[in-house]
Every structure is written in C-alpha cells, then in structure tokens.
Amino acid sequence: MTTSRTAARLSRILSMIPWLIANEGATVDEVCSRFGYTEGNLVRDINTVMVCGLPGYGPGDLMYAYIDGDEVGVEMADYFANAPRPTAAEALTMLASALTVAGSGLGNPALDSAIEKLSAALLPETESGIDIDTGAQPEFVGPLTKAASSHHTATIVHTGLADGVRKERVVEPWSVFSSLGNWYMTGWCRLAEGERVFRIDRINSVVVNDETFDPPETTPEPEVHYTPSEDDVHATIDLKPGARWVLDYYPVDVIEEYATKTRIRFAASEPGVAARLLLRLGSNATLVEGTEVREAVEELGRAILTRYGA
Amino acid sequence: MRNVIERLLNLLAFLLTVERPVDADEIRRTVAGYADKTDDAFHRMFERDKKQLKELGVPLELRYIDVWEIDQGYVVDPDQYGIADPELTDEERAALALAANVVRVGGQPAGPEALFKLGGLAWQGGGAPLGADLGGDIEGAVELFDAIRSRRRIRFTYHGSKRRLDPYTIARRRGHWYLLGRTDGEIKVFRVDRISGIVAGEEGAFERPTDFDPSIELDLHPWEGGPDPEQTATVRFDPEVAWWAARILKEPHEPGETLETTMRVGHRDAFVGFITSFGPDAEVVAPPELRDMVIDRVRGALGE
C-alpha cells in the first residue's frame, strides 16, 4: 500500500538487495518473476544501485551491483542485508487478507503455516492482535468457488430474501466473494436470463453439473450492488437517528440529512424488501413516498397483527 | 527520479551505518546528492526525503546528540529497520500472493510491496474466482493496529465523547472493523469507522493479557448482548422460514418442519427487529411483554 511511485520503487530495490545477497548466482529471469520486474526496469535499478553506497563514494564505498550475462548480483551492501519491515498498513492488509481466505474454508496448509510465520514476524507478543471472521458458510462457498474456477454450471435452489419464494435455477458461477459479513456468488442466471448476485446463505442446495460454460472476458467487480432497472419499486423513507444503521447495511441513496432525520431513497426489485425493513424499524422510520411499498407494509403488518390476535 | 532514488539510498545507507544521531547539517555535508543546494532548496528536499523514508516504513527518529540534551539528530536503528527473513517456502508465498490478490481493501487489491519485503512473489496467476472486501474504513484500522502492535495507550473521540483505552485487538465482523481493549478495568468494543481523533501515547505502556479472547465479546448475536436484563424468549418459526432461522440460530432442523426454540435476549429492541423481519411467518410465543413489543413495533410501522 505504498502510495508514491518513488517509495514503491525504492521499496522494491530494498527488498531485492537482501534476496540477491542471500542468493548468489541468481538469474535475471528469477529476479524478474520474483520481484515483478521487466528486464529493462531491472537493468535500470541495478545501474542505480551500483552508483550508491557510503560517504567517500569511491570504489571501496559503493555497492557492487552487476548483471553479468544471465547472472544478477549485489555485494558490499551488508547494511541492506535485511528487507525493510512492512509498514503497519502493509502488515495489517497482508495478515487480514490471509486470515480472510483461511477463514473462508478455502485456505490450505501452506496458507496456515504462512500465517503462523507472518504473525511471529509482524506481531511480536500480540498473537491475537487481529481477529477476522468473514461469517463464512463453507458448505456452499467451496463447491461454488470450484465451479467458478473450472467453469462448470451449477443447479441451485435459492430462496428469495424479499418474497420467500424458493426456485431452482441453473447458474454459470463467475465468482464468489464476501462483503459486509455475508458471502455472495455472482454469475449468469439462466432462469432470469441476466447477471445476478446470490447470497450464499440463502441457497438451500447446490449441485455442480458436468456441463461447462464460457465465462465472460471480464467479470464485474465483486461487490454487492443493486443495479437499478425500470421495473424497480422505489420508496422514500425518513429514518430517525435510531434507524441510521440502515445506511451501513443497505445500498441506499441519502437524499437529505436533517438534525433529527435522514431522508433516503430505497430501490428494490420487490416491494417486500422495503416493507420488511419498515416493519422492522417500526416508528423509527416513516414512509414518505411509495404506493406499492405502503400496500406491502399494510398487508404484512395486518397479517402479523392477525397472528398475534391483536 | 533516478537522482531521488540514488540520494535516498545513500541517505539510508549512511543512517544505517553511522551508529550515532546526525544532524541535518552533517547529512548535507556528507551524503551524496545534497551538495550545491541553497539552504531553502536543501531543507525542502530533506523534508521530502524524510517523508519518503517514513512512508516506506523506515523508523527515522530524532534523538539528542549530546548529554546536555540541546541538539537533536536523526537515527535509524538497524534492528528496527530490517525484518529477519521469515523464511517462507514457495508454497507459502504463493498462498499469500493469492490471498493478497483476492482480498480488496476499499475496492483496491493490496499492492505487492509487502510481499516483496517478505521474499518476493511466487505466483503469477490472474484473477481468482473468489473475492472479499476489507472495506473502506481500513485507514483507521491501520492506525489502531500500529498502536496494538507497539502497545500504546490511545485517546480518541467516539460518538462525541472522549475515551481512553489500552487497545488489545482489531477484529473484523459482519463487514466492519471493531476495536477491543480495556478501559477502567472493563473490556469495551468500538466500531472503528466511528472513532476519530486518535492520539497514541508511549510505546509499551501496558501489558496485554496473554489469554485474551476477543470472540467472547464479538460473537454474540445482536439481541444477545445488550442493555436490558437478560431473559429467555420462546419463538416459533413456520416451515417456510424455519430453515433460515435455524441457520442463523445454529439450531438443528428438519426441512419442512416448524422450528420452536428459545432465544437469549439482552437487547429487546434488536430481538423485536429480528423477529419482525420474518413478517407473519414467525411468532413470539412467550413472554407476553415481548409479544406486546412486536405488536407495538408493527403498529408503529403502520402509523397507528
């Protein structure tokens, strides 16, 4: 996460030098693939290193860096024998990424042992200084990820969040991702004939088929997004301070912020999604606009009161 | 840029080998790249260079040069600067590279610099069909993570009030970063994106208990931990939603059957919200006051 180009370039040089010191006779190819260099950029950086060193800056003071045929080397640079310690940002990102994947049930023994070594190197004396729980549902995350990487279609039974309707669908899984504590699969749904995002914990069963599919060249960014369409149901809702958490959990537009309320615009494919949210919020939210949603709130609300005999 | 890189390499080599604090004047006279500059140009250049080194993670510090504590000079402690090779195998580095590639931070994959520092990459694959986002609030998390690593006591503002804390753990749950630590003898939990104005104190200011377990505080359901006196509710879920409730509550359940179970309630508001979101397919059987709260909630939504 180094932000400037200069710092990024310097960081790579200071990481490469220790490795070259420890690995005599390294080849150009090896160094390029290990440190992500093109040959031209490696030559440029080696030429930079060879004119640097300690005060005096004579032949005995400068580092001895060379590319000789296929071989790369740096000598007389003992003060750079260790790579710079990762910054707090780099350490956190690295550990958090590794723990996220390990926690998803998709890690492997190599990742586990890497996490152990990293924790020892980056977190002296604070072994549980970081704790990641991605709320994994490994039961279907695993098979769907495998189907996505081998381009096999899957037959899933999924229950809609809004209407509670259970449907069998054949999908072409593109990717699996975790966001806001839930796991999702994105892909092409043959039943809907469109791109869809499914919450994996709303999936009741998964069968990976023998049939394969051609994945699109570029898949959409893995994020929970709601793509507005013309058939959408809209609602304008005022949230009291006690209901502001909605902004963190639903993709909504904030229209206006007042001292005592926040006015949002909510779009969904079904009025039921907004209605259930409004019921949940009770008097902490007021529906300002949205006829279909108002009808759905009435219907669901009356049904609940009937059940309670109220 | 070549001159900048050369000058920074020379500066760092000098600071790592000089073994005493050196002031800006000595650096200017000694390190190649600073000669022939006006005072102003040198100071601007030196400020930029210090910033670059810090961005890279170089522990550049000011210390007194003399026993009278009058003049200060710059020091880089070689032990603080370098990381011993963690001796990762090719498989381990490949696994880390894959993890770094699939996990996004505020929408961006992390750069490769951290892996370069740990011995380079060992994986050249393209995008993997797995992704996770660590969210946009990583900036605050980084500052707190640093305080945890170096055991610095912190002060900060939370929902408008001032807090002080011995930070123990940074944790990620349900899409958010949380900070856990001890204040006035109690373990407290804070959401990182609501923390502002962090001021960190001296390094090594407290001892962290070795048996601290953050999951005790974090892994309660929202309706379990809370401000209300603890009580038990009996709840019934109809067959169409029972599988979903069973999954959330981690209860055994046969497909097609009703789920009747008890729930621990310490936060009535969250409990009522959870039950109401099932619409007419779930019902609080007992106690009566929680039933009444559901009815009030629905009436509130109906504007009655």
pLDDT at B52 over 80: yes
Q: Look up residue A30 and give its two tokens.
A: 């090896």
Domain stop point among A46, A80, A114: A80
DSSP annotation of B199 reads E
Going B32 to B37 to B43 to B47, the CA torsion angle's sign is negative
Could you tell me if A100 lies within 8 Å of chain B, comparing CB atoms? Answer: yes
**Inter-chain residue contact B133 with A126, CB threshold 8 Å:** no
Q: Which amino acid is at A51?
A: V
Nearest to B8 among A10, A19, A283 (CB): A10
**A258: alpha, beta or left, given left = phi > 0 and alpha = psi -120 to 50?**
beta
**Inter-chain residue contact A181 with B173, CB threshold 8 Å:** yes
**Confidence at residue B225, expressed as pLDDT on a 0 to 100 scale:** 75
Question: What is the phi/psi pair of residue B265, to 5°?
Answer: -120, 120
**Inter-chain residue contact B4 with A6, CB threshold 8 Å:** yes
pLDDT (mean) for A26-49: 94
* Dist. CA B82–CA A120, nearest whole Å: 15
Asked whether residue A64 is assigned to any structural domain, the reply reads yes
**Confidence at residue B275, expressed as pLDDT on a 0 to 100 scale:** 94
Q: How many CA atoms lie within 13 A of B191 on its CB side?
A: 11
Domain count, chain A: 4
Chain B residue with Cα closest to A242: B269
Domain stop point among A177, A212, A247: A212
**Inter-chain residue contact A177 with B116, CB threshold 8 Å:** no
Asked whether residue A224 is assigned to any structural domain, the reply reads no
Residue A243 belongs to a domain with what CATH number?
3.30.70
Looking at the fold, whether A104 and A143 belong to one and the same domain comes out as no
Q: Which amino acid is at A102?
A: A
Q: Is the peptide bond before B287 cis (omega within 30 degrees of 0)?
A: yes
Where is average pLDDT lowest: A43-47, A262-266, B218-222?
A: B218-222
B125 pLDDT tier (thresholds 50, 70, 90): low
Nearest to A308 among B118, B176, B294 (CB): B294
Where is average pLDDT lowest: A24-38, A102-116, A249-263, B120-134?
A: B120-134
Residues of the domain holding A259: 233-307
Residues of A in contact with B274 (CB under 8 A): 280
**Inter-chain residue contact B110 with A1, CB threshold 8 Å:** yes
Q: Identify which of B44, B53, B145, B300 has the alpha carbon closest to the alpha carbon of residue A11.
A: B53
**Confidence at residue A171, expressed as pLDDT on a 0 to 100 scale:** 95
**Inter-chain residue contact A111 with B30, CB threshold 8 Å:** no
Looking at the fold, whether A153 and A104 belong to one and the same domain comes out as no
A2 pLDDT tier (thresholds 50, 70, 90): very low
> Could you tell me the end-to-end alpha-carbon distance of chain B, in angstroms, rounded to an integer?
69
pLDDT at A241 over 90: no
- Decide if the complex's ipTM is over 0.85: no
| Secondary structure (3-state) at B162 | strand
Residues of B in contact with A2 (CB under 8 A): 55-56, 111, 113
At A261-298, the pLDDT tens digits run 999 988 877 788 889 899 999 989 999 998 889 999 99
Residue A309: how many other CB atoms lie within 10 Å: 7
**Confidence at residue A1, expressed as pLDDT on a 0 to 100 scale:** 39
Question: Which residue's structure tokens are 């001159």?
Answer: B3
Residue A64 belongs to a domain with what CATH number?
1.10.10
Is residue A177 packed enough to be buried (19+ CB in 10 Å), middle (13-18) or exposed (0-12)? buried
Asked whether residue A243 is assigned to any structural domain, the reply reads yes
Residues of A in contact with B91 (CB under 8 A): 110
Asked whether residue A207 is assigned to any structural domain, the reply reads yes
pLDDT (mean) for A140-155: 89
Selected residues 41-60 of chain B with any CB under 8 Å from a CB in chain A: 52, 55-59
A159 vs B225, more confident: A159
Nearest to B120 among A19, A123, A222 (CB): A19
Q: How many CA atoms lie within 13 A of B153 on its CB side?
A: 11
Residue A177 belongs to a domain with what CATH number?
2.30.30
Angstroms from A106 CA to nearest CA on chain B: 9
Where is average pLDDT lowest: A187-196, A244-253, A255-264, B61-70?
A: A244-253
Looking at the fold, whether A114 and A181 belong to one and the same domain comes out as no
**Confidence at residue B36, expressed as pLDDT on a 0 to 100 scale:** 84
Asked whether residue A37 is assigned to any structural domain, the reply reads yes
* Dist. CA A246–CA A268, nearest whole Å: 14
Nearest to A301 among B213, B273, B301 (CB): B301
pLDDT (mean) for B161-170: 92
* Dist. CA B100–CA B121, nearest whole Å: 11
Q: Inter-axis angle of helices B268-276 and A271-281, to 10 degrees?
A: 160
Where is average pLDDT lowest: A85-89, A105-109, A156-160?
A: A105-109
Looking at the fold, whether A72 and A9 belong to one and the same domain comes out as yes
**Confidence at residue A162, expressed as pLDDT on a 0 to 100 scale:** 63
Selected residues 186-205 of chain B with any CB under 8 Å from a CB in chain A: none
Q: Identify which of B122, B92, B87 has the alpha carbon closest to the alpha carbon of residue A83.
A: B87
Asked whether residue A227 is assigned to any structural domain, the reply reads no
Angstroms from B198 CA to nearest CA on chain A: 15
> Of A13, A37, A87, which to mutate for an interface test with B (greatest number of B Cβ within 10 Å)?
A87
Residues of B in contact with A15 (CB under 8 A): 113, 116-117, 120
pLDDT (mean) for B201-221: 81
pLDDT at B133 over 80: no
DSSP annotation of B224 reads T
Q: Over chain B, what is the mean pLDDT?
A: 87
Asked whether residue A111 is assigned to any structural domain, the reply reads yes
pLDDT (mean) for A87-103: 84
* Dist. CA B234–CA B248, nearest whole Å: 16
pLDDT at A37 over 70: yes
DSSP annotation of A189 reads E
Q: Over chain A, what is the mean pLDDT?
A: 86
Looking at the fold, whether A172 and A152 belong to one and the same domain comes out as yes
**Inter-chain residue contact B302 with A310, CB threshold 8 Å:** no
Residues of A in contact with B169 (CB under 8 A): 128-131
Task: Sketch out chain B's domains with CATH numbers.
Answer: 2-81 (1.10.10), 90-133 (no CATH), 138-218 (2.30.30), 231-301 (no CATH)
B264 vs A103, more confident: B264
A55 vs A94, more confident: A55
Angle at B298 between CA B296 and CA A229, to 5 degrees: 155
**Inter-chain residue contact B132 with A221, CB threshold 8 Å:** no
pLDDT at A169 over 60: yes
A64 pLDDT tier (thresholds 50, 70, 90): very high
* Dist. CA B30–CA A226, nearest whole Å: 60
**Confidence at residue A198, expressed as pLDDT on a 0 to 100 scale:** 87
Asked whether residue A286 is assigned to any structural domain, the reply reads yes
Looking at the fold, whether A164 and A207 belong to one and the same domain comes out as yes
pLDDT at B127 over 80: no
